[in-house]
Amino acid sequence: MQGGGAISTTGSLSGGSFSSTGASSVGSLTSAADVVVNGVTIGKGGGNIGSNTAVGTSVLPGGTGTYNTGIGYFALNSISTTGVYNTASGAHALRYNTTASYNTGTGYGALYANRTGNYNTATGFGALGGSSNTSGDYNTANGVQALLNNIGSSNTAIGYQALGGYPSGNTGSSNTAGGYTALRYNTTGYNNTAFGYSSLNTNTTGYLNTALGYGADVASGALTNATAIGNGASVTASNRVRVGNTAVTQIGGQVAWSTLSDGRQKENIMDYAHGLDFIMKLRPVTFNLRADTTKVPHSGFIAQEVESTGIPFYGLNKPANVKDFYSLNYSEFVVPLVNSVKELKAENEKLKADNDELRVRIEKIEEKIK
């Protein structure tokens, strides 16, 4: 074919290849129907809608949806799709899409089973691609099998099987996971944030939890408002924060920790009645932490012994569940210590007054003797 200008057809054009023994060129190739080149369809798809683009085998075989783009084997394969503004790039991407719109799937099987979910973006092999992932809106998945078995909404997952919904699927919404298998086993939990390799992997139904760091996690799957920060940090109860793992030997900063203490935030204010009666029952000890391989010595108290004094002390935190531990807020010891100082001062002043009285009496006796 030498110096050709244009080829036009009203049917389909198919062929294995174009060949020439010399220089050849084709200025344009025009067809009123899709073109099949070496088994690959190029055109508008089965619906013959001008705003659609179909490239690949069995891509956009039918439907009335507009402004859809399918590239790859069986991409956007549903014959009854009415969805609009979808983009599928990769074999089986958005294969079963029916009414869903404004979705983007890039990669083999990305958004594979999605039928009705809108405004989703999936990048990577099997991202948002599980068979149960038929609905769910405003999700973003970037990574192999990220958000694989998801029908929740407004989730963001970055990394291999992040928010993967194993084993029974994720219906939770507004979760954010970044890292290899982060939040992998989440089922109904919502508003969770996990960044780091396998972070928040134990969470299933818990919500409002935060984990930051390699393996940062919760001790059980149903905690609420728990925060774990640092490599291997584990929080054991709801409404608590844990920083660092058992190998951490010091936590510090340039200034002291400040606790809110505004009287406008307080009610039911009463004097704390205990001082020396509490302090004298305490046993200061030195110890090593069993999990600390460095065996750095520490000093302090045993929480169970503080509890056994039988005196109310509000710096004692009892376990919230079988996986939780006792803990002490050492700053709270300031309160009974202040009372103790006051008691000792009052006692000292009484002794001083008694001594003054005795001195006067002795002086009077001495005067009489003289």
- Distance between CA 370 and CA 350 in Å, rounded? 30
Q: Rounded to an integer, what distance in angstroms lies between the CA atom of residue 230 and that of residue 246?
A: 11
CA–CA separation, 192 and 178 (whole Å) = 11
Whether 139 contacts 156, CB under 8 Å:
yes
What are the pLDDT digits (tens) for 234-243? Answer: 999 999 999 9
Q: How many CA atoms within 13 Å lie on the side-chain side of 356? A: 6
State mean pLDDT over 125-151: 94
Q: What SS3 state is found at 364?
A: helix
Q: Where are the domains of the chain?
A: 150-245, 268-370
* Global confidence as pTM: 0.83
CB-CB contact of 163 with 154 (8 Å): no
Q: Are 7 and 1 in contact (CB under 8 A)?
A: no
- Average pLDDT for 135-157: 96
Interior angle at CA 82, CA 113 and CA 32, nearest 5: 110
Specify the pairing of strand 217-218 against strand 234-235.
parallel
- Give the Cα separation of 104 and 130 in Å (integer): 16
273-299 tens-digit pLDDT? 999 999 999 999 999 988 888 888 999
What pLDDT does residue 1 have? 40
Q: Spell out the residues 6+ positions from residue 218 whose beta carbon is closer than 8 angstroms to its own.
A: 200, 202, 203, 206, 209, 211, 226, 228, 234, 235, 236
Angstrom CA distances, 252 to 202, 243, 289, stand at 29, 11, 19
Please report which confidence band the pLDDT of residue 12 belongs to, taking 50, 70 and 90 as the band edges: very low
Q: At residue 150, does pLDDT exceed 70? A: yes
pLDDT beyond 70 at 32: no
Phi and psi torsions of 195, nearest 5°:
-130, 120
Q: Determine the average pLDDT of the residues in 46-73.
A: 94
* CA 120/CA 85 separation, integer angstroms: 11
**pLDDT value, residue 10:** 46
Residue percentage of the chain with pLDDT more than 70: 91
**127 three-class SS:** coil
**Torsion angle (degrees, nearest 10) of CA 44, 50, 52, 58:** -20
Residue 136 pLDDT: 93
Record the tokens describing residue 308, joined without a space. Answer: 């056994």
**147, 159 in Cβ contact below 8 A?**
no
Q: Which residue has the tokens 């054991």?
A: 236
Give mean pLDDT, residues 77-103: 95
